[in-house]
């Protein structure tokens, strides 16, 4: 069902992805997650400079019908947040892996990426989730 | 609402909805689409063109007999004697303490025959309540829910889209009136009613004929819409949702629905309680609010003042039309004036809100 899961990301069970370049991970939610949420109308993100642990709650994402917590897939310092989402939260729906990214985290332990899922594993994971 | 046991109930349109890409959810024990293409897109379609909703889960009850009027006058708050054949009325089915059993629409078919549309989740309860109120009155209360599918065609283009499919002259039907005739060659009741704040119709038709009608409407460009858009549309129009804004703890006076309470019509369930609330003011009042801070205040969020809970949010959403965070809440009467500001606890964070005039959205006539 999910032909378009980018190979170069790592995926969390809570449906965030981490796209690492060097020691910086760009974090967002997956295509599957944005579809499940529906139209996103508000995103609340941590302040730049926040130290965050993997699996820690880092904000909320609100769609017309529901609110969901966002979890950090990796530990480190938040060095940038996607300011464009304040005006255009729907970027999360239209381009979750690109312009709809959420935060950039300077990783304190890049080996945490290994604990996340690869594209194939995530594909199987969401297939099982949606069969529930 | 989400708790249910056993298999989900399906409307006659279930297969069509899945075919059209509906994202199905459990809605009070019914499998219904929460959305098709997306809530915002569907909402917009109803505000600017036309959308179609499956509301076949709603219950239908007929009340017949020489004392039908007397029976309905006693059990409901509005004045049923104002109805003539072909007119419909929004009203409260009330307990003796003045709180809602349900909010319903009564259609007068004939002098001794009324067709009543009730909320899906309340249908069994309403039926039992009606029967408990029958006493010696010469009336028959019959559950007709299984005999009717219901489609709501809503939006400024609703009349234009539905007219080619029916022999009823839709332009002759005024607001809250109905006609009987054929829709897509099958007997139907068509009323100019709805739950969106737009012009539109509700079509009652035999379950077997509903799927074809839905497909034809969609083929004509009427957008299939789900429960998500239904909720944002009705909230912008400040139409109450049973289980959220009104229930068996709230009265029509508290819910700002005094216009459905006709104290002069004679005795009815809740009359004295409502008369007192109307005279002295109710202890609390349902108001519309806009959030001044960021966030969405949803059903059940508390209104706090000095560490104490003084009220509760009953509905809240992002308004697709106004692009604002809006909602309904019960506030103590002395804090419910327009312009009053108050604080809502949004998951541990305090957000300011202001009482505003309602409805939030009113269509241009």
The pTM score is 0.93
Looking at the domain assignment, is residue A63 inside a domain? yes
The pair of structure tokens assigned to B359 is 């409805």
How much is the average pLDDT of B74-95? 98
Q: If pLDDT is split at 50, 70 and 90, which confidence band does B5 have?
A: low
Residue A129, pLDDT score: 84
Rounded to the nearest 5 degrees, what angle is found at the Cα of A28, between the Cα atoms of A23 and A31? 135
Q: Does B294 touch chain A (CB under 8 A)?
A: yes
Q: What range defines the domain where residue A89 resides?
A: 10-123
Q: If pLDDT is split at 50, 70 and 90, which confidence band does B6 have?
A: confident
A38:B296 CB<8 A? no
Nearest CB to A38 within list B228, B231, B317: B228
pLDDT digits (tens, 9 = 90+) for B127-169: 999 999 998 788 999 999 999 999 999 999 999 999 999 999 9
| Number of compact structural domains in chain A | 1
CA-based nearest distance B192→chain A, Å: 28
- Judged against a pLDDT cut of 80, whether residue A3 lies above it is answered with no
Residue A4, pLDDT score: 80
How much is the average pLDDT of B289-301? 96
Nearest CB to B35 within list A38, A62, A67: A38
Q: Does B296 touch chain A (CB under 8 A)?
A: yes
For an interface test with B, give the residue of A65, A66, A69, A89 to mutate (most B CBs within 10 A).
A65
How much is the average pLDDT of B42-64? 98
Residue A132, pLDDT score: 65
**Which residues of chain A lie closer than 8 angstroms to B296, CB-CB?**
41-42, 62, 67
CA-based nearest distance B106→chain A, Å: 31
Looking at the domain assignment, is residue A33 inside a domain? yes
Looking at the domain assignment, is residue A45 inside a domain? yes
Q: Which domains does chain B have, with CATH numbers?
A: 9-56+148-236 (3.30.1360.120), 59-145 (3.30.70.1400), 283-356 (2.40.30.110)
How much is the average pLDDT of A33-55? 95
CATH number of the domain bearing residue A35? 2.40.50.100
B296:A65 CB<8 A? no
- This model of the complex carries an ipTM of 0.83
pLDDT digits (tens, 9 = 90+) for A75-91: 999 999 999 999 999 99
Looking at the domain assignment, is residue A102 inside a domain? yes
How much is the average pLDDT of B302-312? 97
A64:B232 CB<8 A? yes
The pair of structure tokens assigned to A83 is 């300011």
Looking at the domain assignment, is residue A119 inside a domain? yes
Residue A1, pLDDT score: 42
How much is the average pLDDT of A95-106? 98
Counting residues of chain A whose pLDDT is more than 70, the rounded percentage is: 97
Q: Does B318 touch chain A (CB under 8 A)?
A: yes
Nearest CB to A42 within list B38, B228, B296: B296
Residue A65, pLDDT score: 85
B35:A44 CB<8 A? no
Looking at the domain assignment, is residue A131 inside a domain? no
Nearest CB to B34 within list A60, A62, A65: A65
**Which residues of chain A lie closer than 8 angstroms to B320, CB-CB?**
64
Interchain CB contacts (distance < 8 Å): A and B = 37
- Judged against a pLDDT cut of 90, whether residue B177 lies above it is answered with yes
pLDDT digits (tens, 9 = 90+) for B223-260: 999 999 999 999 999 999 999 999 999 999 999 999 99
Q: Does B88 touch chain A (CB under 8 A)?
A: no
Looking at the domain assignment, is residue A43 inside a domain? yes
B318:A42 CB<8 A? yes
Residue A2, pLDDT score: 45
How much is the average pLDDT of A26-52? 96
How much is the average pLDDT of B46-75? 97
How much is the average pLDDT of B53-72? 97
Mean pLDDT over all residues of chain B?
96
The pair of structure tokens assigned to B325 is 């965070």
Residue A130, pLDDT score: 79
CA-based nearest distance B310→chain A, Å: 24
* Orientation angle between helical segments B227-236 and B39-48, nearest 10 degrees: 50
pLDDT digits (tens, 9 = 90+) for B89-133: 999 999 999 999 999 999 999 999 999 999 999 999 999 999 999
- Label the pairing between strands B9-10 and B30-35: parallel
Tell me if B13 sits within 8 A of B31, measured CB to CB: no
Counting residues of chain B whose pLDDT is more than 90, the rounded percentage is: 96
């Amino acid at each position: 069902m999910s032909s378009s899961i980018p190979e170069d990301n790592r995926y969390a069970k809570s449906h965030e992805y981490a796209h690492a370049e060097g020691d910086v991970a760009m974090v967002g939610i997956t295509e599957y997650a944005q579809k499940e949420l529906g139209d996103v109308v508000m995103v609340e993100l941590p302040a730049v400079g926040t130290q965050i642990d993997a699996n820690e709650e880092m904000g909320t994402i609100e769609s017309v019908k529901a609110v969901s917590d966002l979890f950090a897939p990796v530990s480190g310092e938040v060095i940038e947040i996607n300011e464009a989402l304040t005006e255009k939260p729907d970027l999360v729906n239209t381009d979750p892996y690109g312009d709809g990214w959420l935060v950039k985290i300077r990783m304190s332990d890049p080996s945490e990426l290994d604990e996340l899922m690869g594209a194939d594993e995530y594909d199987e994971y969401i297939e099982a989730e949606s069969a529930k | 609402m989400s708790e249910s046991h056993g298999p989900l109930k399906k409307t006659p349109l279930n297969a069509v909805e899945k075919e059209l890409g509906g994202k199905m959810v459990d809605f009070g024990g019914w499998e219904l689409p929460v959305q098709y293409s997306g809530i915002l897109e569907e909402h917009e379609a109803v505000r600017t063109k036309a959308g179609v909703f499956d509301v076949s889960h709603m219950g239908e009850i007929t009340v017949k007999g020489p004392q039908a009027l007397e029976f309905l006058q006693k059990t409901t708050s509005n004045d049923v004697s104002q109805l003539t054949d072909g007119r419909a009325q929004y009203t409260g089915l009330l307990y003796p303490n003045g709180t809602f059993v349900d909010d319903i629409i009564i259609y007068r078919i004939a002098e001794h025959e009324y067709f009543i549309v009730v909320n899906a989740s309340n249908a069994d309860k309403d039926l039992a309540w009606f029967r408990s109120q029958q006493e010696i009155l010469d009336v028959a209360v019959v559950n007709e829910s299984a005999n009717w599918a219901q489609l709501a065609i809503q939006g400024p283009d609703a009349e234009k889209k539905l007219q080619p499919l029916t022999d009823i002259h839709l332009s002759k039907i005024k607001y809250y009136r109905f006609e009987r005739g054929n829709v897509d060659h099958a007997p139907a009741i068509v009323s100019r009613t709805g739950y969106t704040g737009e012009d539109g119709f509700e079509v009652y038709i035999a379950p077997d004929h509903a799927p074809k009608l839905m497909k034809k409407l969609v083929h004509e460009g009427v957008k299939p819409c789900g429960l998500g858009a239904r909720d944002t549309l009705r909230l912008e129009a400040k139409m109450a949702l049973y289980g959220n804004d009104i229930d068996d703890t709230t009265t029509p006076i508290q819910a700002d629905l005094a216009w459905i309470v006709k104290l002069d019509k004679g005795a009815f369930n809740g009359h004295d309680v409502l008369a007192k609330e109307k005279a002295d003011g109710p202890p609390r009042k349902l108001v519309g609010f806009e959030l001044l801070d960021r966030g969405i205040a949803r059903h059940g969020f508390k209104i706090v003042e000095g560490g104490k809970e003084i009220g509760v949010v009953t509905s809240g959403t992002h308004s697709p039309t106004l692009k604002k965070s809006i909602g309904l809440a019960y506030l103590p009467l002395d804090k419910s004036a327009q312009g009053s500001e108050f604080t809502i606890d949004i998951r541990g964070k305090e957000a300011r809100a202001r009482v505003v005039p309602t409805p939030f959205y009113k269509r241009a006539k």
